[in-house]
Amino acid sequence: MLEIRQLHKSYPIGDSSLHVLKGIDLSVKEGEMVAIMGSSGSGKSTLLNIIGMLDEADQGDYILDGLPIKNLTEKKAAIYRNKFLGFIFQSFNLINYKSALENVALPLYYQGMKRKERLELAMFHLEKVGLADWAKHLPKELSGGQKQRVAIARALAADPKLLLADEPTGALDTKTSHEIMEFIQHLNDEGKTILMVTHEEDIAAMCKRNVRLRDGIIIEDKMVEQVRAQLYV
């Protein structure tokens, strides 16, 4: 599914440069649920951005579903992101003047799907996250947990191969966090491959595999006994 070999990335800071990723090797199989952990500055977000094609590595190979991701034009990257990846962000990143339904339908718009079709499909995904009644509401009328569920519905709308979550529970209280995690676990049960960045141990424990970064290298990569979020709800 996902194959990363000897990935390097550095950012220029003034005259010198900051070496953020110093040779990452990572392989993720279909159906896995991986938590990438580490303190801030460990390079975990940079790694996720590279996997999400929002950023490009300086060196090393990145192969997604058999496709080498390298030297992409902006246009190509846009198409790949749309086709292969679903994003869930800490701050939801919904478009504030569009209703929940329109937000969910946006990736489908960029796929060139007809309006009627995509609104139907978006509605289906909103129902799945339990927000069918909130379809016409603007993001500001929704609670944090509801916003994140809209964001998840949006990430799922284009049926991506890989779901990328950057601190998906970072802006939510514990109870809501567990609800969201329960939902993500449910998606994983259905076979979705999920990659998540978090620095919270209890959230990481709800994944199936923990990868720990420190100073740009992987210091730990282990399978864990998944804690079901349902127990807390």
**Positions that interact with other proteins (CB under 8 A):** 49, 52, 54-55, 74-75, 78-79, 81-83, 87, 89-91, 93-98, 106-107, 109-111, 115, 154, 158
Q: Which is nearer to other proteins, 92 or 134 (CB)?
A: 92
Q: Which is nearer to other proteins, 125 or 154 (CB)?
A: 154
CB crowding 113-131: b at 16 or more within 10 Å, else e: beeeebbebbbebbebbeb
What is the CA angle 150-156-161, rounded to 5?
Answer: 155
- Give min distance, CB of 229 to other proteins, in A: 24
Q: Which is nearer to other proteins, 54 or 224 (CB)?
A: 54
Residues 179 and 145 sit within 8 Å (Cβ to Cβ): yes
Bridge pairing between strands 33-37 and 209-214:
parallel
- Give min distance, CB of 117 to other proteins, in A: 12
Residues 181 and 105 sit within 8 Å (Cβ to Cβ): no
What is the CA angle 96-91-76, rounded to 5?
Answer: 80
Q: Which is nearer to other proteins, 155 or 184 (CB)?
A: 155
- Give min distance, CB of 134 to other proteins, in A: 19
- Give min distance, CB of 113 to other proteins, in A: 10
